Amino acid sequence: MSSLIGVRDLVVEFSSGVRAVRSVSLDLAPGERLALVGESGCGKTTTMLAMMGLLPAGATVSGQVLLDGKDILAGGEATMRPHRWSDIAMVFQGAMNALNPVRRVGAQIVEAVRIHGGSRQDGKLRAREVLDLVGLPKDTSSRYPHELSGGQRQRAVIALALACQPRILLADEPTTALDVIVQDQIVTLLRQLSDSLGLAVVLVTHDLALVPHLCDRAAVMYAGTIVESGPCADIVRRPRHPYTRRLVEATPDLAGRRPLTSIPGAPPRLDLPLTGCAFQPRCAEALESCAGSAPPLTDLGGGRTRACHLLEVTA
């Protein structure tokens, strides 16, 4: 697979001492759709912000973010800025409620284009194009965010992210605040945009049920690391990490007729060192040795990887 964007051994520690990302590696091919899944607090947003070069001051970052094979993390803001929004764009978690309330939607898109060197005229043309791409009526340009429904606002935020024609879109929980029908519409929109523009998409979500509707591959995160990855349909049907199995069993649309079960306990504190497998304290199948060392992410074949000390359960 030729990688459009690759993350290598990313580690992020905040000034508070919270080590939110502990060696994450990801790859995305042109037009590919990857889901990054896991409970709240496992480091999904931090991983995305690191890829955008938008971590808060004081955060310590190591690893690489390779765009077309070139490390755009190494040179700091100077190497990141030319690529942010024009190659790699992000829909921030909760962004639909963070549109500027006193500026018309069109003006916000024009401004995004002008910041990147386009003229006002370019901006107006592009605003018309992207609003059309996301399925919003022409007159949305002259509307204020409060005049739009939740679903329309999320479409406007996606339009804004597309203003500078990125090749990669990081969509952080883009459906979380929306009702189920609108959630489906946004996922469908992302799929159509990916198909028609060849846009690579990372869908960040805590909701595993959304994933097969949009994505080719999924990576499951726990306590700052990836514990399992593989083709979406495969992961949902045959999860191979105990944590992923628990996530599937806790997801109404995936659990089928089985009774839903929640995952007991809570993820570990990330401001303390972790020894052994991070999931071990919550894992019903854990052996004594699981507390001893962290399991490495291992290739299982068939595009699957897993970080777990247990022998595979073959159903």
Q: Which of 267, 215, 217, 268 is nearest to 246 (CA)?
A: 267
Considering only residues 43 to 82 of the shown chain, the ones binding ligand ADP according to CB under 6 A are: 43-46, 56
The window from 33-41, 141-149, 247-255, 305-313 that contacts ligand ADP (CB under 6 A) reads 33-41
- Residue closer to Mg ion, measured from CB, 45 or 152: 45
3 burial class (0-12, 13-18, 19+ CB within 10 angstroms)? middle
226-246 core/surface letters (b: 16 or more CB in 10 A; e: else): bbbbbbbebbbeebbbbbbbb
- Residue closer to ligand ADP, measured from CB, 42 or 218: 42
Which one of 40, 196, 262, 314 is in contact with ligand ADP (CB under 6 A)? 40
- Residue closer to Mg ion, measured from CB, 38 or 106: 38
Could you tell me the maximum CA-CA distance found in the chain, to the nearest angstrom? 66
Instruction: Find out whether 177 and 205 touch, Cβ atoms under 8 Å.
Output: no
Which one of 42, 247, 277, 290 is in contact with ligand ADP (CB under 6 A)? 42
Assigned token pair, 275: 């020894």
Number of residues that bind ligand ADP (CB under 6 A): 14
What phi and psi, each to the nearest 5 degrees, are found at residue 67?
Answer: -110, 120
Assigned token pair, 27: 């790859």
Q: How far is CA 163 from the centre of its chain?
A: 19
Distances (CA, A) of 117 to 122, 133, 164, 169: 10, 22, 10, 21
Q: Give the Cα separation of 237 and 36 in Å (integer).
A: 17
Is 270 near ligand ADP (CB under 6 A)?
yes
Considering only residues 76 to 115 of the shown chain, the ones binding Mg ion according to CB under 5 A are: 93
The window from 42-50, 106-114, 181-189, 245-253 that contacts Mg ion (CB under 5 A) reads 42-50
Is 45 near Mg ion (CB under 5 A)?
yes
Is 247 near ligand ADP (CB under 6 A)?
no
Is 175 near Mg ion (CB under 5 A)?
no
- Cβ 28 to Mg ion shortest distance, Å: 18
Selection from Mg ion, ligand ADP, none that 297 binds (CB < 5 to 8 A by kind) is none
- Residue closer to ligand ADP, measured from CB, 13 or 32: 13
Considering only residues 151 to 210 of the shown chain, the ones binding ligand ADP according to CB under 6 A are: none
- Return residues touching ligand ADP (CB under 6 A): 14, 16, 18, 20, 38, 40-46, 56, 270
